[in-house]
Amino acid sequence: MTKLRNLTLISAVALGVALAAPASATDLRIAPGAPPAHPASSHLYAGLAKYLPEESGGAMNAQVLGPEVVTLGQMKDALQTGLVDVGNLLPLYFPAELPNFALAGELSLSGTDPHAMGAALTEYTVTCGSCQTEMTNFGIVYLGSGSSDPYVLLTTKPVTTADDVKGLRLRSGGSPFSRWAENFGAVPVSIGVGETFEAMSQGTIDGSMASIGDLLSFRLVELAKDVTAVPLGTYFSTSNFATAKTTWANLSPEERTALLKAANRANADFTNRWGYEFPKIAAKAASEAGITLTDADPAFAKAAADFAIADRETAAKISQDRFAMNDASDRVAEFVSLVAKWEKISDEVNHDPVQMAQKVWDEVWSKVDVSTYGM
The model's pLDDT over 115-144, given as tens digits with 9 standing for 90+, comes to: 999 999 999 999 999 999 999 999 999 999
Sign of CA dihedral 37, 41, 43, 49: negative
Which pLDDT does position 5 carry in this prediction?
42
**Residue 217 is assigned to a structural domain of this protein:** no
By residue count, the chain amounts to 375
Are 209 and 172 contacting, i.e. CB atoms less than 8 angstroms apart? yes
Half-sphere CA count of 162, side-chain side, radius 13 A = 16
Containing structural domain, residue 12 = 2-147+237-281+350-367
User: What SS3 state is found at 237?
Assistant: coil
What global pTM score does this model have? 0.88
**DSSP strand pairing (152-155 vs 140-141):** unpaired
Does some domain include residue 102? Answer: yes
Q: What pLDDT digit, counting tens, does each position of 30-84 carry? A: 999 998 989 999 999 999 999 999 999 999 999 999 999 999 989 999 999 999 9
**What gap in Å lies between CA 277 and CA 281, rounded to an integer?**
7
Distances (CA, A) of 295 to 175, 230, 319, 332: 24, 7, 33, 29
Is residue 158 in a domain? no
Cβ 228 vs Cβ 150: under 8 Å:
no
Residue 8 in this model has a pLDDT that exceeds 80: no
Q: Is residue 183 part of a domain?
A: no
Are β-strands 61-64 and 27-31 bridged in parallel, bridged antiparallel, or unpaired? parallel
Tell whether 296 is covered by a domain. Answer: no
End-to-end CA distance of the chain: 34
| pLDDT tens column, 286-317 | 999 999 999 999 999 999 999 999 999 999 99
Q: Residue 195 burial (CB < 10 Å; 0-12/13-18/19+)?
A: middle
19 vs 317, more confident = 317
- Interhelix angle 353-363/114-126, nearest 10 degrees: 20
Whether 19 shows a pLDDT value over 60: the answer reads: no
pLDDT-derived band of residue 182, with 50, 70 and 90 as boundaries? Answer: very high
321 is a domain residue: no
With b meaning 16 or more CB within 10 Å and e meaning fewer, what string describes 200-215?
A: beeeebbbbbbbbbbb
Indicate if the pLDDT at residue 105 is higher than 80. Answer: yes
- The H-assigned helical ranges of the chain are 2-20, 39, 46-55, 75-81, 99-106, 114-126, 129-138, 162-165, 175-183, 196-201, 214-217, 245-249, 253-272, 278-288, 298-323, 328-348, 353-363
**Cα separation, 254 vs 27, whole angstroms:** 15
Instruction: State the DSSP string of 312-333.
Output: HHHHHHHHHHHH--TTHHHHHH
Q: pLDDT confidence of 174, banded at 50, 70, 90?
A: confident
The radius of gyration of the chain's CA atoms, rounded to the nearest angstrom, is 20
Burial-class residue 301 by CB neighbours within 10 Å (0-12, 13-18, 19+). Answer: middle
Dist. CA 120–CA 342, nearest whole Å: 6
Q: Is 104 domain-assigned?
A: yes
| DSSP letter string, 50-89 | HHHHHHTTTS-EEEE--TTT--GGGHHHHHHHTS-SEEEE
Provide the CATH number for the domain around residue 354: 3.40.190.170
Rounded-to-integer distance, Cα 141 and Cα 241, Å: 8
> In whole numbers, what is the pLDDT of the chain averaged over residues?
92
Residue 39 lies in a domain: yes
The tally of domains found in the chain comes to 1
